[in-house]
Structure 1
Amino acid sequence: MNHTRFAALAAAALGGALLLANCGSDPAPATEDTAGGSGAQPTPSESCPSGTVNAEGSSAQKNAIEEAIAAYQAECPDVTINYNPTGSGAGIKQFNAAQVDFAGSDSALKTEADSGKSEAEAAKERCGGNEAWDIPMVVGPIAVAYNVAGVDGLVLDGPTTAKIFNGTIKTWNDQAIAKLNPGVTLPSDKIAVFYRSDESGTTENFMKYLQAASAGAWKTEPSKTWEGAGSGKTKSDGVAEGVKSTPNSITYVEWSYARDNKLAMAKVDTGSGTPVELTGESAGQAVAAAKPDGTGNDLRLSLDYATKADGAYPIVLVTYEVVCSKGLDASKTELVKGFLTSFASQKTQDSLQEIGYAPLPAEVRTKVDAAIKAIS
């Protein structure tokens, strides 16, 4: 990934993001030409800390966070941000074990315990008895990517997608697929399904869509571990490469990986009347309509995967940066806040569209700014 074009973000990106909303209020969004109300942008020597931050987790945000790191380190060269995209499950485990300073996860910390402590309880313990917050940072649309020669603009709906991924629909010329794609010549070949074999927030979010939109065709409860049909591949780049190299195959994968690998992507028939193409705008519409599901500065969101809103692409995930509200070493806290402030800035968020992500909607970004400012 070429990061050099982002070096020009410089002080404008960081300075604009530092106009943060007051916690607990509903202020206007930050502007890009003021800082602290003075109208003057801080110089790097005034605004930049120094040191190293280690983070781990979601591979869905890998490309986005790499771009954000490049932009921030161009402005603050004495800060090193290390991010290991091992998957959401691994990131949460490493954060709760105090091995990393923050974690990236494509689903918010779970408050229900499978056995022992819940993820949220373990995170609170790791943060010295202080709450851990889920801060939405990256909007990663999930593409249903496929490789079928001669088939462009494939249309799928929730029930049909669920039946493909649970193995009920086995061939491309199945009547259900043909009905959604009149006039398209579909092969009789067997469908090769690829899924994430590692624990993945992308898997969990895709299963949430299948459960919500399939009219009962998907029976399995969503989780980070895949429960459907197919062959497993490790991480996002694994399933993308699987489809790229395998004729008559299909997978679920983040938009950025589908774009990077030049994979065809299905349009989604949500029942709104017109199949919805995956774009930054259509994904952003789904996130803007999400309902708050946390309290205070814990900004977890409840997405409507079965939305029929006109023009809204329903298969989206939000990657959260999981942070200690308090309890992290003071020097690390300064570093984490500095980086996340830059990451959440409008300039950086807007730039992510170039690599297959949707920017945070303005109403969400204002709350994110306030939460980052409140970390102490």
Structure 2
Amino acid sequence: MNFKRYGRPAVIAIVAALALSSCAANEGGTASTGDASASTLTGTLNAAGASSMAAAQEAWIAGFQIANPDVTINYDPSGSGAGREAFISGGTAFAGSDSYLSDDELAGTFASCAPTSKAVDLPVYISPIAVIFNVEGVDDLNVDSDTLAKIFAGEISTWDDAALVALNPDATLPSAPITAVHRSDDSGTTKNFSDYLFQTAPDVWTEKASDTFPFSGGEGAQGTSGVVSAVTNGVGTIGYADASQAGELGTAKLKVGDEFVAYTPEAAAEVVAGSPLVEGRAADDLALDLNRKTTNPAEYPLVLVSYALVCNEYADAEQGALVKAYVEYIASAAGQTVAEESAGVAPLTAELEANVAEVLATVK
């Protein structure tokens, strides 16, 4: 394995988290991991976590269960924070999270893991975070990080604020209040959003990245779907959500360097490709230090990487075998194609897929 952590050898891995519920086998994707009649896997996997990957997860579960009809996968999209808590306490076999495990979490124990084993962060899903809005008469919106930070920190409260007008000279912005919608639950999407603002607008966004939204103003909503619903059904609303669930809402362009950049899966993948692993972690932990400060307009820095949180070794070997098989599927070229087609996200590179397969070979 040739991945480096700022010059230190490291392995790269991936694992996924996910699916929405066992009934998803009757919905969506048809990807197969092979001849279902040849599958000897049996059992049930319970997981919970990030709500951002709903479309991809439905398709992943459907494909895996078609190929492995005696396996049931249940995924509760309760949010990244709740997913990590459930995994740490042993309530699930793995978790999906849009933010990697903290040093404090890694220092603790994981009830599903063997006594001498720890959990690792395995990236499996790359997606832009869209700044979604619903403002009558406004189809296009430009924002820079300072202005975006001021909106969500409550310092800009009307759509015709001078800062927004200056960024959008061709738009007719109404003299109407802004309703900024944020996640009310512990959310990896919030952590990525706040990390972007803390790194690029530190004079305004003074709070470090956190799963919990740090300011008291605005409107809170549960889960990705809750934020999308609140923006859709509100008046003069703005929010943030995984781009795969933005639907027909307006999406803002971010200022990157000297240009305003619309999100694309490709631009999100470019940021990830240029980001190193987080320093000081185990060689098989693949947490990424995302390059939020890029000035390259080919890159979209408001991106999330979703991780599957899994054990190196499971206390229950049968559960370990099921997790390993499922993750191998979603981290494979076939699984990534399913996610790309169902959610419009960026697939992992061939190099990353290969390194993931090498790491997964050690999971038991």
Could you state the TM-score of these two structures normalised by the residue count of structure 2?
Answer: 0.88
Instruction: Tell me how far 1:368 sits from its aligned partner.
Output: 2.0
- Report the equivalent of 1:51: 43
8 A contact 1:299–1:368 mirrored in 2:
no
Matched to 1:267, the amino acid is K
What SS class does the counterpart of residue 222 from structure 1 fall into? coil
**Structure 1 residues 354-363 or 230-239, which shifts more?**
354-363
What SS class does the counterpart of residue 275 from structure 1 fall into? strand
Ranges in structure 1 where 5+ consecutive residues have no aligned partner: 16-42, 112-117
- Report the equivalent of 1:282: 267
- Report the equivalent of 1:35: none
Instruction: Tell me how far 1:363 sits from its aligned partner.
Output: 3.1
Instruction: Tell me how far 1:63 sits from its aligned partner.
Output: 2.3
Identity %: 39
Instruction: Tell me how far 1:195 sits from its aligned partner.
Output: 0.8
Map of 1:55-134 to 2, 5 A cutoff? 55-111=47-103, 118-124=104-110, 126-127=112-113, 128-134=115-121
- Report the equivalent of 1:210: 197
8 A contact 2:48–2:77 mirrored in 1:
yes
- Report the equivalent of 1:142: 129
Map of 1:253-292 to 2, 5 A cutoff? 253-259=241-247, 262-271=248-257, 273-292=258-277
Instruction: Tell me how far 1:212 sits from its aligned partner.
Output: 1.0
Ranges in structure 2 where 5+ consecutive residues have no aligned partner: 1-23
Instruction: Tell me how far 1:357 sits from its aligned partner.
Output: 2.2
Is 1:187 matched up with 2:174? yes
What SS class does the counterpart of residue 287 from structure 1 fall into? helix
8 A contact 1:189–1:248 mirrored in 2:
yes
| Structure 1 residues 361 and 275: alpha-carbon distance in aligned structure 2, compared to 1, 3 A threshold | farther
What SS class does the counterpart of residue 318 from structure 2 fall into? helix
8 A contact 1:96–1:123 mirrored in 2:
yes
Map of 1:154-173 to 2, 5 A cutoff? 154-173=141-160
8 A contact 1:158–1:270 mirrored in 2:
no
What SS class does the counterpart of residue 107 from structure 1 fall into? coil
Q: Deviations over 1:87-122 (max 9, x none)?
A: 1111111111111100111111100xxxxxx21122
Q: Deviations over 1:15-52 (max 9, x none)?
A: 6xxxxxxxxxxxxxxxxxxxxxxxxxxx4344541111
- Report the equivalent of 1:6: 29
The structure 2 residue matched to 1:320, chosen from 282, 299, 307, is: 307
Is 1:237 matched up with 2:216? no
Q: Determine the C-alpha separation between the residues in 2 that align with 1:297 and 1:164.
A: 39
- Report the equivalent of 2:234: 246
- Report the equivalent of 2:10: none
8 A contact 2:89–2:111 mirrored in 1:
no
Matched to 2:363, the amino acid is I
Q: Determine the C-alpha separation between the residues in 1 that align with 2:67 and 2:267.
A: 32
Matched to 1:241, the amino acid is S
Matched to 1:313, the amino acid is Y
The structure 1 residue matched to 2:164, chosen from 177, 183, 193, is: 177
Count of matched residue positions in the alignment of Structure 1 and Structure 2: 336
Could you state the TM-score of these two structures normalised by the residue count of structure 1?
Answer: 0.85
Q: Deviations over 1:183-207 (max 9, x none)?
A: 1111110100111111111111100
Instruction: Tell me how far 1:3 sits from its aligned partner.
Output: 6.6
